Structures are given as C-alpha cells and as structure tokens.
Chain A
C-alpha cells in the first residue's frame, strides 16, 4: 500500500518554457503533499507544502511565482516550473502522507528536469 506515482520521470525542455509535474497518491487520500528538490549527492530540500484546497506553503528562498503548486484533489498535486532556466535543472521529488499522525512520508520516484 501507500504508493505515490510521479510523472513524468524525466523531461527535457528549452529555456523559457514551462513544465508541469504530477504527483498522485494511488491508494490513499493525501490531504498534504510535499515537493522536494535534490541536487547530485545532496539531501532532499523541502520546497513547499501542498494542502488540498488551499494555497501552498513555500520554504524560505523558494520563488512561489516560479514554482506553481496546485493541490486540487486529495490524490493529485502538481508542480509547474514556469519560465524554466538551466539553473532549474534538478531532481524533483514529491511525497505524501496518509494522514495518521507520524505516518511516514511516501515518495514518488522523482522527475529529472533538464533545461537546455
């Protein structure tokens, strides 16, 4: 149980374009989803917390206008990287929890974004 599906697994886009990444909880409802960014050989950095039906909460230093997050349902959150630049190239990972206190986060398989 507790499967999180992330799509696409990799994407290459040109500088200036926008890219949408989807995160779905397949067998549970996730009132909260989280978006992380990971650089090579580094740990996960939380970008934002996505709450169903409300605005996302962004971490300090994360541009909310560049990284648009939508959590329209209990099973789907999307991250849109707008006007992408090469420095946005990274590994983006979403996660979700089932709602019971201290239930672990379950992660998607990540999206490798390359901006050319």
Chain B
C-alpha cells in the first residue's frame, strides 16, 4: 500500500536556525513527489515537484531533495514568516487519476 510519513510532527526553530523536514514514502514506482506549504485556515500552496532520485529544487530559503525512499525539505536561516505546516505528497506510477497521497505534515514554528 502506498504510504507517506512525515517527521517530525512539529518543529520549533529560532530565527536563523537551519533544519530539515523529512518525508519518507513507499510507492510502487514514483511519478512525482510534491511539497506544499499550508498556513492555518488556508489551502495548501504549491512549492516543488521532484521526479527522480538525485533531483533538487530551490526557492528562497527552501531546498527540496529526493532519494529513492525519502525527500528532505531543507530550510536555511528561517524567518518567522516561514512558520506553516509543510505537506508532502506522492503520486505513483500506477495512478491514472492523479490521486495524490498526502503525509500528515510537519508544523513548523520559527520564533524571532
């Protein structure tokens, strides 16, 4: 069964303190791995798509990497405005209906 596990569940950082969020996945062939940011009371905002192991994508203070079993979202020198829940989702090769499987997210709090 396809599955996505994110860790940690919650993370508190001081402003400027870099860290990484983990997304472990089990899927019968990966068609794509997606990272989203979700603010309280809002819908998820698309960040990155990764397709194959070794791929990396960057956007401002965020960098996403992918291996055959997991993805990391690295946050460099975070700011309070980076506080949000970060969601990871995968789409399997066998999926024809674009049914993404989401992890439960990591709630990030960056304190000034």
Q: Which residues of A contact B (CB under 8 A)?
A: 2, 4, 6, 32, 34, 41-44, 46, 49, 57, 91, 93, 95, 97, 102, 104-110, 112
Contact = CB atoms under 8 A, between A and B. Distances in A.
A57 B32 CA distance: 22
Contacts of B51: 102
Contacts of B45: 107
Main secondary structure of the interface of A (DSSP, over half): strand
Interface in B7-50: 31-32, 34, 36, 41-46, 49
A35 B100 CA distance: 12
A43 B46 contact: no
B105 interface: yes
Identify the 3 closest CB pairs spanning chains A and B, nearest first: A107-B43, A43-B104, A43-B102
A104 B49 contact: yes
Interface string B101-112: 011110100000
Interface of B: 31-32, 34, 36, 41-46, 49, 51, 87, 91, 97-100, 102-105, 107
A51 B105 CA distance: 28
A43 B49 contact: no
B41 A32 contact: no
A4 B46 CA distance: 12
Nearest to B44: A107
Contact of B97 (A42, A49, A109): A49
Contacts of A32: 97-98
14 contacts: A2-B46, A6-B43, A32-B98, A34-B98, A43-B102, A43-B103, A49-B97, A49-B98, A93-B43, A105-B100, A106-B46, A109-B43, A110-B42, A110-B43
Contact of B44 (A42, A44, A102, A112): A44
A97 B49 CA distance: 13
